[in-house]
Amino acid sequence: MRSVIDILDLSVEELDELVACAKDIIANPSKYAHKCAGKKLATLFFEPSTRTRLSFEAAMYELGGNVLSMSDAKSSSAAKGESVADTAKTISCYADIIAMRHPKEGAPLVASMNASVPVINAGDGGHNHPTQTLADLLTISREKGRFDNITVGLCGDLKFGRTVHSLISALSRYENVKFVLISPEELKLPSYVKKDIIQKNNLEYVQTTDLESVMPELDILYMTRVQRERFFNEEDYLRLKDSYILTPEKLETAKKDLCIMHPLPRVNEISVAVDEDPRACYFDQVLNGKYMRMALILKLLEVK
């Protein structure tokens, strides 16, 4: 029985396998329509979500399975003080697989140590978000056809943005990936990602506060939302929230085949005028997330 808590829980070969499976699902959806008949996915979300929870649920329905959904922690026994460990043991009695989002870093790991079914981390605090990375990887594969020899700009809240941490971890294992880290001073990448992933693997990177000066060199621009819910005070959030706003004008110096990504939800980081640009890939990421979650559910349930 395997869980996926960190993107590094999956080998490079397994990532390739998941991407290939997702592409096969896209090409032949009917082949997969009953693969999970009789199986149940429980979604336990202790934090707000639109895409992650609903795409997990859509994924399980499209595999012919069923879903038990807990979208509001206030209506669960967590509100009475139940531990994550006890919740995980309990849900294991009802479901074959669990997707959990939690505001506390490490909560899905604790759940996986206590559950008797696979647990998938659907986002833990400001730490990791491996299944968003799966969506991102399928998008990069479909747009660029490769994960190596790319310059990836990550822009916005690199401190609290869990999607950024997981994406850097995943891409750190490919050849000749260069990271351009664009953020305000206060929202720089945490040292555990910079030291333990980027520097440890001798990856090329630059840090800057200026998006426009690095625009021409980017193959991928990954915009992120300033993570309001992780701030200690509202004043800091208000000061930093509009640090970067991507507009058609700012894209004038960008490569013709730039891939513009964002895990969504967007607040102000990308002006809606950019949506018309053929380089905008963020709504493709949404759809790709569903296919990759289908592939991951099949893998963890060991469905052939």
List residues binding ligand NCD (CB under 6 A): 51-52, 123, 129, 132, 162-163, 225, 263-265
- Which amino acids are annotated catalytic? 51-52, 80, 101, 129
Question: In the block, which residue shows the tokens 């696979």?
Answer: 118
Question: What amino acid is encoded at 260 in this protein?
Answer: I
Tokens of 252: 């004038």
Q: Output 35 or 162, the one with its CB closest to ligand NCD.
A: 162
Q: Strand, helix or coil at 188?
A: coil
| Closest approach of ligand NCD to the CB of residue 145, in Å | 24
| Closest approach of ligand NCD to the CB of residue 163, in Å | 5
Q: Largest Cα–Cα distance of the chain, in whole Å?
A: 55
| Closest approach of ligand NCD to the CB of residue 55, in Å | 9
Question: In the block, which residue shows the tokens 């992933």?
Answer: 197
Tokens of 154: 């990550």
- For 240, residues 6+ apart whose C-beta sits below 8 A from its C-beta are 157, 184, 186, 187, 226
Q: Identify the DSSP state of 148.
A: S
Q: Output 121 or 163, the one with its CB closest to ligand NCD.
A: 163
| Closest approach of ligand NCD to the CB of residue 60, in Å | 17
Q: Output 35 or 140, the one with its CB closest to ligand NCD.
A: 140
End-to-end CA distance of the chain: 15
Q: Output 35 or 290, the one with its CB closest to ligand NCD.
A: 290
Question: Quick one: 163 exposed, middle or buried, by C-beta within 10 A (0-12, 13-18, 19+)?
Answer: buried
| Closest approach of ligand NCD to the CB of residue 82, in Å | 23
Q: Output 3 or 121, the one with its CB closest to ligand NCD.
A: 121
Select from 67, 47, 40, 37 the least CA-distant residue to 55.
67
